[in-house]
Structure 1
């Protein structure tokens, strides 16, 4: 991509022959990109082109080539950083960009595998397993099942040793699962067990791609979120620590669910992005009325899930009388950029809805036009029959008159 930008800038340098290409201030006149976003590269290229267009004078080909080679070298520096140029998603998965766990830090990771879980059946079967213990949750947290995983016998050392071996799993009714300090093999086994309780499971590749991962550790201070790392208070009571983990899990689960909806919306946009171009070129929209209604239905179903069927726009009732947990929940949501991503998604939904309404109006007008032509054709046929009838009567009546005479 950067090579194309370099050729683009070289072509404009050669074409416009700018005076600054001969001077020492060329380096300060141009803006050399230091960020790695393709959008930034394109904007920088357009800005440099405007700089070239300010004063057009004749220059020597040798000096011009030297200046443009310098420009090409500076732009190509971006290519050597080793970072991906293309970023197709609104939210990059946390696992791909996650920091390596620091010393004495453990990992918390969230997945969403289905539209919904059968929590009652899941809880019943988990109670039969020896390595899992179903922990008690408050009555107003009825849409989650908390499971304690203890693969190794507890030592006599105390609380710290237990926490280094124990893991926690939170199953949310909306199809999310969050693992705290659980080994990869155990996570795979749990997710495999979840398959029989899933309703409308998601694509496995999408599940693996869209996840959220955070590091956490224990501290003597109060629980907080600092620089993207969770610090849990080691002096907190057992129930308080469980609720704090549940709070962080709730925000992470909501983030991965939103990531799935973002991916769905991207697929939806890709499926209709050709329509404005067809309309601009005056071509016929080859889409039937049932197909248009299906697209409108998909759009409204996604809009319902995001705005009415989730907690993206409102804080859950669970935190209304728990101010400390509410603060942790809101801070985690802000760190995961859930409010901003929700705004972007709703803006995309609004534009998609406008396009869907445009498609529906276009098909309605086309249907009305077809009906009008059908009516015109029927009238024309009726007029034709009337002309034939008059023609026949006109030429047959004189013959009948002569026969009577």
Structure 2
């Protein structure tokens, strides 16, 4: 069976989504800021378990690709800043009541569940949702670094940037917006509050987070964000230097004009005195 995770938007309109689910008889449950709903699976004996995360991610347990697409289609009205290209990932899962505990078989890329507990699935879903959200942030940062590569190369070869003042300002704005957006979502990657009151389920979350290399990827993302910050600082300094240079040139020109006027005035006065 499939367990699929999708990141389709920046956020979901959770209140309207809950209202929609209630109107369709799905009786959603709240687990802190996560919404859980269960749908009948007409293609199998087990139900489809769905977890909606407010940061634009959804995890679906037990559906096939067609069913997942239908669920995502229903989400369209509740998405905020829908992504042009949604990010997804999936892992297989199965039940084994004889297993002593839930674990991940890394060779088979499969989760083995000891029972059908919604808390177990939610604990794992937290890490899976964080992973696909992290995919979006990683792609965004990589794209930005690729787009700014010519600037970095020019800085390395010439020590300055040939961009105009307006173009530098635009680049600074882009870098700032990107870093601000990512920092705004950084708390999403922290250990969820759900486990503060249910610490016995936290090992399942940590197991899945380790399987998804979330901490390692976070460190890489932080390093890349630092690179963006450094470039932001360099461009800011470059903009200040261009502004200072322009002021210096303006001052020199004004002084030159003043000297010329002064010399012209002196000549006029001298000629006037010579007349007498």
Q: Select 2:229's aligned residue among 328, 345, 353.
A: 353
**Structure 1 residues 331, 151: closer, same or farther in 2, change over 3 A?**
closer
Q: Select 1:250's aligned residue among 126, 135, 145.
A: 126
Q: Select 1:134's aligned residue among 20, 27, 33.
A: 27
Q: Select 1:294's aligned residue among 149, 160, 173.
A: 173
Q: Select 1:144's aligned residue among 5, 27, 34.
A: 34
Q: Select 1:162's aligned residue among 31, 37, 45.
A: 45
Deviations 1:239-288 (CA, angstroms, capped at 9, x unpaired): xx001111111110000000000000011101211112222333642142
For 1:304, the equivalent position in structure 2 comes to 183
Deviations 1:77-117 (CA, angstroms, capped at 9, x unpaired): xxxxxxxxxxxxxxxxxxxxxxxxxxxxx100000111110
2:14 is equivalent to residue 119 of structure 1: yes
Q: Cα distance, 1:172 vs. partner?
A: 0.8
Q: Aligned ranges for residues 311-326 of structure 1 at < 5 Å?
A: 312=189, 314-326=190-202
- Structure 1: distance between partners of 2:171 and 2:42: 57
For 1:394, the equivalent position in structure 2 comes to 270
Report SS of the residue matched to 1:115.
strand
**Structure 1 residues 129, 275: closer, same or farther in 2, change over 3 A?**
same
**Structure 1 residues 293, 280: closer, same or farther in 2, change over 3 A?**
closer
Deviations 1:212-238 (CA, angstroms, capped at 9, x unpaired): 21111011223222323211123x6xx
Deviations 1:141-179 (CA, angstroms, capped at 9, x unpaired): 2211111110439xxxxxxx732xx21111111110111
For 2:93, the equivalent position in structure 1 comes to 216
Question: Is the contact between residue 41 and residue 63 of structure 2 (CA under 8 Å) also seen in structure 1?
Answer: no
Q: Select 2:71's aligned residue among 185, 190, 193.
A: 190
Considering fraction of residues, name the structure with more strand.
Answer: 2
Aligned residues: 269
For 1:226, the equivalent position in structure 2 comes to 105
Q: Aligned ranges for residues 5-404 of structure 1 at < 5 Å?
A: 106-129=1-24, 133-137=26-30, 141-152=31-42, 162-163=45-46, 166-203=47-84, 206-207=85-86, 210-220=87-97, 221=99, 222-227=101-106, 228-234=109-115, 241-282=117-158, 284-287=161-164, 288=166, 289-307=168-186, 309-310=187-188, 312=189, 314-399=190-275, 401=276
- Structure 2: distance between partners of 1:301 and 1:322: 32
- Structure 2: distance between partners of 1:298 and 1:398: 68
* Larger of the two Rg values belongs to structure: 1
Deviations 1:14-60 (CA, angstroms, capped at 9, x unpaired): xxxxxxxxxxxxxxxxxxxxxxxxxxxxxxxxxxxxxxxxxxxxxxx
Report SS of the residue matched to 1:108.
strand
Structure 2 residues without counterparts, runs of 5 or longer? none
Q: Which has the higher contact order (CA 8 A, sep 6+)?
A: 2
Question: Is the contact between residue 145 and residue 171 of structure 1 (CA under 8 Å) also seen in structure 2?
Answer: yes
Structure 1 residues without counterparts, runs of 5 or longer? 1-105, 154-160
- Structure 2: distance between partners of 1:193 and 1:136: 18
Question: Is the contact between residue 176 and residue 232 of structure 2 (CA under 8 Å) also seen in structure 1?
Answer: no
